[in-house]
Amino acid sequence: MSAVNPQQGLRGELRLNEPMAKHVSWRAGGVAEQLYIPADVADMAVYLNNLPADMPVYCIGLGSNLLVRDGGVRGAVILLHGALREIRLESKQASSGVIYAEAGVAAPKLARFAAGHDLVGAEFMAGIPGTVGGALAMNAGCYGSETWLIASSALTINRQGQVRKRERAEYELDYRHVALREANEEWFVGGWFELQIGDGAASKQVIKDLLQRRIASQPLGQPNAGSVFRNPQGDFAARLIESCGLKGKLLGGAQVSTKHANFIVNAGQASAADIEDLIDLVATTVAEQCGVTLQREVRVIGDRLRGEA
């Protein structure tokens, strides 16, 4: 249900016991104890600074890489998509330019914005079904490129509401891995992307081609969360899963996609438990039959319902 903001000075929207199935692309899961949609970064800072020090905090964008368990989320969920959505051309020189995008901006929008300013190198972002914040947090990538290859720095916020600019060198970066070299709990609220000057029309065509490729190879017509597992070095998770005969495997309302084996879809009223149990079944089967331990790419938060394993 919606609620009036109880904390003085807040300008955003606070919702209590908010169904998270509305905010994750799997369309499954329980409720959040509280969900906050900030008005801007300054408002988010006030909200964070007013939270109890021991309250868990989760920042989400489009919910496209997230599973919320059926028992719901204790703590605060901050919804950035639709809130932190500023995108601007920061600078442009003879050979390069810099774009600033807030964390709630959809990754494909960044790709299109860059092409519209004759900046190239961000086309792959059109294939990422999430936001800039999520892409920065997990070094999201596809089609041979990754977020932190074009991100030069980021704007972050901590539990005390302090905002600071971080440079690329301050992070440990790897395949689907981003970690501060110093221990600190922070969330991304924006990023700067350095791109080369190029042919905007050609860039738009590349984006169009990538989207057509995505439509042809991924189950976009069914609720899903993108790739479930990271690709093992030198191999593909989808190939391993398919080799185990799991393509099309059903468990409750969840199914290994018949279109792409590294996608699990909500085939009809799946619970979060159905999806998580199918993820576990796939990982266990691949480990037993192929001797490969698949690493989950999706994030799982919240509590199982009482009585669930």
Q: Which of 176, 296, 299, 304 is catalytic?
A: 176
Q: Which residues pair with 135 in a beta bridge?
A: none
CA contacts within 13 A on the Cβ side of 75: 15
User: For the chain, how far is it from start to end, CA to CA, in angstroms?
Assistant: 29
Tell how strand 96-102 and strand 66-68 pair up.
Answer: unpaired
What's the rounded Cα separation, in Å, for the pair 285 and 279? 10
Residue 186 shares a structural domain with residue 280: no
Is position 43 within any domain? yes
The answer to whether residue 134 is domain-embedded is yes
Read off the pLDDT of each residue in 187-210 and give the average, rounded to a whole number. Answer: 97
Q: Does residue 132 fall inside a structural domain?
A: yes
Active-site residue identified among 25, 64, 227, 271: 227
Do both 127 and 185 map to the same domain? yes
pLDDT tens track for 266-284 = 999 999 999 999 999 999 9
Residue that finishes a domain, picked among 31, 60, 79:
79
In a domain, 15, yes or no: yes
273 within 8 A of 28, measured Cβ to Cβ:
no
- Indicate whether 161 pLDDT > 60: yes
Q: What pLDDT is stored for residue 184 in this prediction?
A: 75
Residue 309 lies in a domain: no
Mean pLDDT value across residues 38-64: 95
pLDDT of residue 143: 82
Q: Which of 123, 186, 276, 297 is catalytic?
A: 297
Alpha carbon distance 168, 194 (integer Å): 12
The DSSP string of 58-82 is EEESS-TTEEE-TT-EEEEEEE-TT
Which residue(s) pair with 60 in the sheet? 79
Distance CA 75, CA 20 (A): 13
- Burial of residue 166 (CB within 10 Å: 0-12, 13-18, 19+) is middle
The pLDDT of residue 9 is: 83
210, amino acid identity? L
- H helical segments located in the chain: 41-50, 107-116, 132-138, 147-150, 200-217, 237-243, 272-290
Domain of residue 247, residue span: 237-301
On whether both 150 and 203 belong to a single domain, the answer is: yes
pLDDT in tens, 276-308: 999 999 999 999 999 999 999 999 999 998 766
Q: Which amino acid is at 23?
A: H
133 and 209 share one domain: yes
Q: What pLDDT does 8 receive?
A: 64
Helix, strand, coil % in the chain, rounded to nearest 5: 30, 30, 40
**pLDDT score recorded for residue 2:** 38
Handedness of CA 284, 285, 291, 296 (dihedral sign): negative
205: pLDDT confidence band, cut at 50, 70 and 90? very high
93 and 147 assigned to the same domain: yes
What predicted TM-score, i.e. pTM, was given to this entire model?
Answer: 0.91
Cα radius of gyration (the chain): 20
β-pairing, 141-142 vs 254-256, is: unpaired
Query: Mean pLDDT for the chain?
Result: 94
User: Is 297 among the catalytic positions?
Assistant: yes
Annotation says 227 is catalytic: yes
Distances (CA, A) of 15 to 5, 66, 122, 152, 155: 9, 19, 35, 35, 26
Q: Are residues 280 and 241 in the same domain?
A: yes
Considering the domain architecture, whether residues 11 and 69 belong to the same structural domain is answered as yes
Answer whether residue 227 is part of any domain: no
pLDDT at 4: 41
CATH number at residue 291: 3.90.78.10
Query: How do residues 216-260 score in pLDDT, each as one tens digit?
Result: 999 999 999 999 999 999 999 999 999 999 999 999 999 999 999
Residue-level pLDDT at 144: 85
* Position 142 confidence tier, pLDDT thresholds 50, 70, 90: confident
pLDDT of residue 212: 93
Q: Are residues 97 and 74 in the same domain?
A: no
Q: Are residues 117 and 36 in the same domain?
A: no
Which of 217, 247, 269 represents a domain boundary (last residue)?
217
CATH of the domain at 121: 3.30.465.10
Spatial distance between the Cα atoms of 92 and 284, rounded to a whole number of angstroms? 50
The pLDDT of residue 7: 57
Last residue of a domain, one of 187, 217, 247: 217
Regarding whether 125 and 59 lie in a shared domain, the answer is no
Give the span between the Cα atoms of 74 and 80, in whole angstroms.
Answer: 18
Q: What total number of domains does the chain contain?
A: 3
In this structure, are 150 and 205 located in the same domain?
yes
The answer to whether 87 and 100 have CB atoms below 8 angstroms apart is yes
Range 4-36 burial, b when 16+ CB lie within 10 A, else e: eeeeeebebbbbeebebbebbbbbbbbbbbbbb
- The answer to whether residue 224 sits within a structural domain is no
Domain-embedded: residue 306: no
pLDDT at 1 over 60: no
Q: What are 247's two structure tokens? A: 């393509």
205 and 283 belong to one structural domain: no
